[in-house]
Structure 1
């Protein structure tokens, strides 16, 4: 299952419209102020997708825009008091994780109902859902950093979490990852430690390789690497880091 959250940070419209045309999602969640962006999408004849969940305290969206979406039968509205414990984006992510978990259970039940073989059912259970966040970066450093660390929730749930904007694609990496050149988002690849140490870091297929090296939180050793081979292998024996593909 693939889910897109559109939240209220900076959204480059041309990039966002291209993403909506290129990528397919099973659910789309629009968060508070991002409804202003979506209101433009609704009037774009080239975009043939729709969102099904609206989340927020709605303190940043124009009431005139909001009223057009509150009573629609195809949209489930999740409204919260502005004085709440979690940000709107956090609440939307928790909703997305529940949707992903429910979808995975439903897929497994369908596989059983269709009497598929054991390997097929196991493959279905092991397929990782994806949650993408658009508009999770922008001018507010506090919100951007908070949104980046929300990826820990997707990892804990066994879901692939991705933050994307015009210039960056951000994941939270623990263990191994293979980056394919044909799928690369940008020219630069960085590992930013978020634990005290990244132990046993191996980078193969990159301009600046490493073999079981240890780097630490606060160091910039793994910033702005470049993929040279058709595939780049990344492995972290202990610790977690943000894996950031970026472009100018």
Structure 2
């Protein structure tokens, strides 16, 4: 069955505010500690997956009984992080979009790896995003509409050596045929001038990060 949207709750920084993102018809995946987080807040994951090394053993019976399906993996003999495993399983369902919650936190390596996973979504023509309390992150290789989600800033950062032919409409600081190179901060801290803005690029991969201060 193809689902309109898949939400992945994983084991980074999780907030009860994320629960407001759950809509009827969403397919919910809990990755490792994200599964227990959902269950503790009254949401039954359609799928729970991971090595579950961050869940107390006495809670695992609860995860098994309260999940639609559970996929366990060996914590030693595995090549994917729990988040990536959940992401791969989500991609197999060919949803219209995927949102990952709890993908950021104190582990910068995991945060960057999760951001890099957005590339795979783009390659399969599945819009993917990462949401935390202060950021909403998406990726484009062509064009996209940026909607006002209540964040203060919109920053554009190249995920390839350079991004060329950048055009911005509906922003406080528009761009026309601009180029951003890896290591430059020209695209940081722009703002929407309207409720929606348009980003178009001709070459490269561009991260679009809506953010706000704490």
Give the structure-1-normalised TM-score: 0.80
- 1:127-206 map, 5 Å: 129-181=96-148, 184-206=149-171
Give the structure-2-normalised TM-score: 0.92
- 1:78-157 map, 5 Å: 78-83=71-76, 84-100=78-94, 129-157=96-124
User: How well do the aligned residues superpose, as a CA RMSD in angstroms?
Assistant: 1.6
CA deviation profile, 1:15-62 (whole Å, cap 9, x unmatched): 123323xx34431000111233223212xxxxxx53110100111111
- 1:10-89 map, 5 Å: 10-13=13-16, 15-20=17-22, 23-42=23-42, 49-71=43-65, 75-83=68-76, 84-89=78-83
CA deviation profile, 1:183-242 (whole Å, cap 9, x unmatched): x34121011101011111111221111100112010000011001134312111101011
What is the alpha-carbon distance in structure 1 between the residues aligned to residue 37 and residue 147 of structure 2?
32
What is the alpha-carbon distance in structure 2 between the residues aligned to residue 231 and residue 8 of structure 1?
31
**What is the deviation of 1:153?**
1.4
What is the alpha-carbon distance in structure 2 between the residues aligned to residue 30 and residue 88 of structure 1?
10
- In structure 2, the partner of 1:117 is none
Higher helix share: 1
**What is the deviation of 1:64?**
1.4
Aligned length: 209
What is the alpha-carbon distance in structure 1 between the residues aligned to residue 26 and residue 195 of structure 2?
30
What is the alpha-carbon distance in structure 2 between the residues aligned to residue 153 and residue 139 of structure 1?
24
Structure 1 segments of 4 or more deviating over 3 A?
Answer: none
Rg larger in 1 or in 2? 1
**What is the deviation of 1:71?**
4.3
State the secondary structure of the residue aligned to 2:18.
helix
